[in-house]
């Protein structure tokens, strides 16, 4: 028989220990994520859908490429039947899928800017949530820094992943199915400019929210400004890097991976005329000589951006966009300090 365990009587005057509370995430980062969890879930869902789509496009890429080979009706000389190839539709699905992803990535900055102006900043200033946080342990500067840093990290990681998957899904060598590197939407969705555009949209949207302090006007202003920035950069893009000038008869037969900015001729008296397509349709050397003689031409030239200029153009444009984002952030902090001083 075991002896009973004796416990000392509890002292009613002794302070009771509170039950331990479970650890929960805290801090400004968690607050931003919790407050904007709906946008976070939409962002994650969009990335998952885009990732699944681009994985499927990568898988069907070889079949799509095989569907655009030369054909004949009826099939002859080893060429497949054209009707059979047209019935596959893999190339159409592949092209439509790539266009859809490219468009979404190219204009990602627009919904990002509208959301940043309306939900991230404008709505909190309009309903007083931000002012309430400032009266507690969070300073306005820390509040804005967290508001910008958390979505900036999520946008950078997610957009970079989407760009990499999109580039892989395009598969080098798919030719007209994947589009030329200089096509506006292809260019804006296959390099670092995609991330830079998203960050610029975030910064401009936050600035609009701080200036206007109302959700809907800030969303509209941010959308309009980022759209104007997109069109401006597209217009300035060819001048962001020095062009290459090709002379001689090579200028008449440029490869499809070259962005032609201007094409012209040199007359027999030495005058250079731009945007003159004389003799472009000539196929043989004799036809070229005859055309040059009849047109009184001495040479041809073309100003182009070869495919090797893709990365220099991307890096310069990304630098410009990040400078815009940095300037917008600096102005946003200046506006915040003046209004809370």
Work out the average pLDDT over 272-283.
Answer: 74
For position 306, what pLDDT does the model report?
Answer: 94
Write out pLDDT tens, residues 170-218.
876 555 677 889 999 999 999 999 999 999 999 999 999 999 999 999 9
83-97, 151-165, 194-208, 274-288: least confidently modelled range: 83-97
Lowest mean pLDDT among 21-25, 38-42, 159-163, 315-319: 21-25
User: Peptide bond preceding 74: is omega within 30 degrees of 0, i.e. cis?
Assistant: yes
Average pLDDT over residues 279-307: 80
pLDDT bucket at 20, cuts 50 / 70 / 90: very low
Domain segments of the chain as ranges = 47-239+309-340, 259-305
327 falls in which pLDDT band (50, 70, 90)? very high
Task: Average the pLDDT over 314-338 and give the result.
Answer: 96
> Per-residue confidence at 8, pLDDT binned at 50, 70, 90?
low
pLDDT for the residue numbered 136: 80
Taking CB atoms within 8 Å and a gap of at least 24, the contacts of 319-327 are 320/233, 320/240, 321/193, 321/196, 321/197, 321/199, 321/200, 321/229, 321/233, 322/196, 322/199, 322/200, 324/200, 324/203, 324/204, 324/229, 325/196, 325/199, 325/200, 325/202, 325/203, 325/204, 326/203
Cα separation, 325 vs 330, in Å, equals 9
3-state secondary structure of 193: helix
Confidence of residue 22 (pLDDT cuts 50, 70, 90): very low
CB 301 within 8 A of CB 267: no
Higher model confidence: residue 27 or residue 335? 335
Would you state the pLDDT for residue 170? 85
Q: How confident is the model at residue 298 (pLDDT cuts 50, 70, 90)?
A: confident
CA distance 171 to 310: 16
Q: What confidence score (pLDDT) does residue 229 get?
A: 96
Question: Given this model, what pLDDT does residue 210 score?
Answer: 94
Runs of H (alpha helix) within the chain: 28-35, 37-66, 82-88, 90-106, 109-115, 123-127, 129-134, 140-170, 184-187, 193-212, 215-236, 285-295, 310-340
Average pLDDT over residues 321-339: 95
Tally Cβ neighbours within 10 Å of residue 97: 17
Instruction: Supply 97's token pair.
Output: 């899928």
Q: Is the pLDDT of residue 91 over 90?
A: no
Supply the pLDDT for residue 160.
96
Helix (H, G, I), strand (E, B) or coil at 263: strand
Per-residue confidence band for 83, with pLDDT thresholds at 50, 70 and 90: low
- 0.85 exceeded by pTM: no
Rounded to whole angstroms, the Cα distance separating 54 from 60 reads: 10
Give percent above pLDDT 70 in the chain. 82
**What is the predicted pLDDT for the residue at 89?**
58
Residue 1's pLDDT is 46
């Amino acid at each position: 028989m075991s002896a009973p365990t004796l416990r000392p009587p509890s002292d009613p005057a002794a302070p009771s220990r509170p039950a331990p509370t479970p650890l929960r995430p805290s801090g400004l980062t968690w607050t931003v994520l919790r407050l904007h969890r709906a946008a976070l879930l939409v962002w994650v869902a969009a990335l998952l859908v885009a990732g699944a789509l681009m994985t499927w496009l990568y898988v069907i890429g070889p079949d799509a490429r095989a569907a655009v080979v030369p054909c004949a009706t009826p099939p002859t000389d080893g060429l497949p039947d054209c009707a059979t190839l047209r019935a596959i539709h893999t190339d159409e699905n592949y092209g439509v899928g790539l266009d859809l992803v490219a468009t979404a990535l190219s204009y990602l900055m627009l919904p990002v800017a509208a959301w940043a102006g309306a939900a991230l900043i404008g709505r909190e200033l309009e309903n007083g949530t931000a002012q309430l946080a400032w009266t507690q342990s969070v300073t306005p500067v820390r509040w804005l820094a967290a508001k910008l840093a958390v979505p900036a990290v999520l946008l950078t990681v997610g957009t970079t992943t989407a760009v990499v998957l999109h580039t892989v899904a395009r598969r080098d060598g798919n030719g007209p199915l994947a589009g030329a590197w200089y096509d506006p939407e292809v260019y804006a969705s296959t390099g670092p400019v995609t991330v830079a555009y998203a960050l610029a949209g975030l910064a401009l949207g936050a600035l609009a929210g701080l200036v206007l302090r109302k959700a809907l006007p800030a969303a509209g202003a941010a959308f309009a400004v980022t759209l104007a920035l997109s069109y401006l950069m597209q217009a300035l893009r060819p001048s962001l890097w020095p062009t290459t000038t090709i002379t001689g008869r090579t200028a008449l037969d440029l490869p499809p991976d070259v962005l032609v900015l201007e094409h012209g001729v040199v007359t027999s008296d030495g005058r250079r005329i731009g945007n003159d397509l004389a003799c472009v349709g000539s196929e043989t050397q004799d036809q070229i000589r005859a055309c040059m003689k009849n047109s009184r031409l001495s040479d041809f030239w073309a100003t182009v951006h070869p495919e090797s200029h893709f990365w220099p153009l991307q890096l310069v444009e990304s630098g410009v966009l990040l400078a815009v984002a940095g300037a917008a952030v600096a102005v946003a902090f200046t506006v915040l300090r003046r209004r809370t001083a």
